[in-house]
Amino acid sequence: MKQILELIEYRKQEFSQLPFFEYLRDKNIDPRQKLAFAPVISPLAMGFGELCKEVFRKEPTNDRVQELINKHTYEEHYHWLWLLEDMEKLGLDQTMRFSEALKFIWSPNTKSNRFVCSLFERYAFQADPLLKLVVIQVAEVTGNVFFYETKKVAQQLHEITKEEYRYFGMCHMDKEINHNLNRSEVVSYLNEIQINEETRMQATEIVEQLFDAFTDVVDEYLVYATKEHQKQLVLQ
């Protein structure tokens, strides 16, 4: 398993250098504008909570890896509530017809976010716990990169509005870095797991496919945030 975890770390470093994260780091851009992509994340944020309950979790179990997964699903499943709070504070909780909301959620704006949820299910549903764990680890490290950058933006915005942004801010990041899967003894245990060649090949495919999908996800955020910025310029 160590080889797979090393591949995940390598892809994480590549992921952290994508243009979207450079956008979040740009001090010349208003923090409100940086988080203008927030509505686009809704299918992924809401869908991941459901995946935790219906796909990743399996109870009861006597499998050590599945036990780790189960604990992780309970740590993750409520985070979507914070997104709803933050969208209201960001002024993005606009009143619209139900049909308009549905059109947005299933529009090209959110296509990549919807697709990554389908990949999670494809690779994790009734899968060997080790392969489920690989899926979760990719979600974890991409999330860590994402929230490490958004927490800085949320802090900048807090200095302006005095509001706390729990989903994009330090609250969420603090929960992420303190997940059970990040404990040193758990990491050591995972590194020592021996896997056969077939499982290694399957795990490698999962890592590569999911990182490619998450690249599309954050590219989607950048496109939407830029488009919203252009709209604001027209209105001014």
pLDDT in tens, 62-76: 999 999 999 999 999
The rounded distance, in Å, linking the Cα atoms of 98 and 215 is: 30
Predicted model pTM: 0.95
Residue 234's pLDDT band (boundaries 50, 70, 90)?
A: very low
What's the pLDDT score for residue 236? 47
Across the chain, which distance is largest between two alpha carbons, in Å?
61
Cα separation values, 174 from 11, 134, 169, 177, 183, Å = 22, 22, 9, 6, 14
Chain segment 134-182, per-residue pLDDT in tens: 999 999 999 999 999 999 999 999 999 999 999 999 999 999 999 999 9
Q: Give the three-class secondary structure for 212.
A: helix
* 78 band by pLDDT with thresholds 50, 70 and 90: confident
The model's pLDDT over 185-232, given as tens digits with 9 standing for 90+, comes to 999 999 999 999 999 999 999 999 999 999 999 999 999 999 886 676
> In terms of DSSP H, where are the helices of 17-169?
19-25, 31-34, 42-51, 64-76, 80-89, 98-105, 111-124, 129-161
Phi, psi dihedrals of residue 29, rounded to the nearest 5°: -105, 135
